[in-house]
Amino acid sequence: MYVYMVECNDGTLYTGWTTHLENRVAAHNAGRGARYTRARRPVKLVYAETRPTRSDAMKRERQIKRMARAQKLALIANYDPRRI
């Protein structure tokens, strides 16, 4: 399972979870993702982390969504895509 953040075309951040990261980002960009991202395409993957279970991924998604924008930007700044 993955928890991820994408940056939308308008600079906003969207957080979600998925089992297939590349497919999910492609779905967002094709307009089949979340309603929020449909009008804000294209999106760019800026952060991802793995979680062992769906429940863990959903909990982490909620944690990230509750963070202030500055905290999210700090996560993104320390993100290394080679770690996932």
The CATH number that applies at residue 70 is 3.40.1440.10
Give the count of domains, the chain.
1
Domain that holds residue 65: 2-83
pLDDT digits (tens, 9 = 90+) for 30-48: 999 899 999 999 999 999 9
Over the stretch 49-59, which tens digit does the pLDDT of each residue have?
A: 999 999 999 99
pTM of the prediction? 0.93
Are 8 and 41 spatial neighbours (Cβ–Cβ below 8 Å)? yes
Question: Would you say 4 and 21 are in contact if contact means Cβ atoms under 8 Å apart?
Answer: yes
